[in-house]
Amino acid sequence: MSDSTPAVVEHNPDLRHHFANMEQQTETAVMGMWVFLITEIMFFGGMFAGYVIYRHLYYSAWLEGSQRMDFWWGTINTVVLLCSSLTMALAVRATQLGHRKSTVTLLIITILFGLAFLGIKGIEYWGHIVTEHQFPGPGFRFAGPNTSQVEIFFSFYFAMTGFHALHMIIGVALVSFIAYYAWKGRYGAHYYTPVENTGLYWHFVDIVWIYLYPLFYLISHVHRK
């Protein structure tokens, strides 16, 4: 029977014992992240399905709700996330090239973009919840017909953007960990899988927002406060 690696060859200190070589380990880890992201798609998918159904049933209420979104904050947030994906992708590239300082810088900028997104989201939520009383439940207030249907719109808004924000928070924490270890010199051309995987996760969370943005903010061009 053939042997895997002869004892003499010096192997990568990051090679875990149950893998035959680094290539197998890296491919496995990346595949694992992709499968995980598919489960995330299914998780959000349930909510998207519910959204589509209610939008079809209550289109005018959806229109009303969308017009009460803050178009400018939403658009700025979209730009922020797209930029953060750029810096994240550049960070992965920098790691692959072994540029430790650039890696850390780019990761930190990504974190800052992420925090900016969350901050803006916080501002929006404050407006919706505290100022406009648009949080569903007994305290919900809406002047106009179809109150309960608009309330359902806001249920979906808070549920979907809420879960998205939760994933963003996790993402920011992940990137922070990676940034710390990158600063410590853990990654380089020989081993950058954690950075790559974090990048995949980050891009996924970005893509979810790319869907949420038009679905909630862009149903109609006419916007009023």
Partner 1 sequence: MASTLVAAPERENYLNNEYGISSWLFTTDHKRIALLYLVTITFFFFIGGFFALLIRLELLTPEGDLVLADTYNKLFTMHGQVMIFFFLIPAVPAVLGNFLIPIMIGAKDLAFPRINLLSWYLLVIGGCFMTYTILSGGVDTGWTFYTPLSTHFLDTHVIAAALAIFIAGFSSILTGLNFIVTIHRMRAPGMTWSRLPLFVWANYATAIIQVLGTPVLAISLMLVALERIFHLGIFDPRLGGDPLLFQHLFWFYSHPAVYIMILPGMGVISEIVTCFSHKRIFGYQFMALALIAIAVLGFLVWAHHMFVAGISLYAAMVFSLLSYFVAVPSAIKVFNWTATMFKGSITYSTPMLYAFGFIGLFTMGGMTGLFVAALGIDVHVTDTYFVVAHFHYIMVGGMVMAYMGGLHFWWPKLSGRMYPENWGRLAALIIFIGFNLTFFPQFVLGWLGMPRRYWQYSPEFQVLNVLSTAGATILAVGYLLPMVYFLWSMRYGKPASDNPWGAAGLEWMISSPPTTFNFDQTPTVTWEAYNYDELQEAPVER
Partner 2 sequence: MLSNTFPLWPTRASTISGQVDALFIFLLMLCGLMCMAIFVAIVVFAIRYRKRPGHQATQIEGSNAVEFTWTFIPAGIFLFIFVWGAYIYFLERTPPRDSMDVYTVAKQWMWKFQHTEGQREINELHIPIGRDVRMIMTSQDVIHSFYVPAFRIKQDVLPGRYTIAWFRASKAGTYHLFCAEYCGTNHSGMIGDVVVMEPAQFQSWLNGGGPMGSLTQTGEGLFQSLGCSTCHRLDTQGRGPNLIGVFGKPVLLEDGRTITADENYVRESILSPAAKVVSGFKPIMPTFQGIVSEEELNALVAYVKSLTAQPSGAAQNPTFQGPAASKADTTRQR
Site of interaction with partner 1 (CB under 8 A)? 1-4, 17-20, 24, 27-28, 31-32, 35-36, 38-40, 42-47, 49-50, 53-54, 57-58, 135-138, 146, 148-149, 151-152, 155-156, 159
DSSP annotation of 18 reads T
Name the phi and psi angles at 143, rounded to 5.
-90, 115
Q: For residues 157 and 165, is the Cβ–Cβ distance under 8 A?
A: no
CB of 95 to partner 2, least distance (A): 51
Asked if 220 is part of the footprint of partner 2 (rule: CB under 8 A), the reply reads no
**Contact map string, positions 52 to 71, toward partner 2, x by CB under 8 A:** ------xxx-----------
Residue with Cβ nearer partner 2 (66 or 149):
149
Q: 71 is in the binding site of which of partner 1, partner 2, none (Cβ under 5 to 8 A by kind)?
A: none
Distance between CA atoms of residues 96 and 7, nearest Å: 28
Minimum distance between the CB of residue 56 and partner 2, rounded to whole angstroms? 11
Name the one range near partner 2 by CB under 8 A: 77-85, 146-154, 161-169, 212-220. Answer: 146-154
Nearest to 200 by CA among 79, 24, 32: 32
| Tokens encoding 132 | 């406009």
Nearer to partner 1, 32 or 119 (CB): 32
- Position 146 contacts partner 2 (CB under 8 A): yes
Q: Which does 60 bind (CB under 5 to 8 A by kind): partner 2, partner 1, none?
A: partner 2
**Residues from 75 through 114 that contact partner 2 (CB under 8 A):** none
Per-residue CA distances from 142 to 60, 68, 159 (Å): 14, 11, 19
- Cite the DSSP H helix spans in the chain: 22-57, 59-67, 71-97, 100-126, 147-183, 193-217
Contacts of 44 (CB under 8 A, 6+ apart): 160, 163, 164, 208
**Contacting residues toward partner 2, per CB under 8 A:** 58-60, 145-146, 148-149
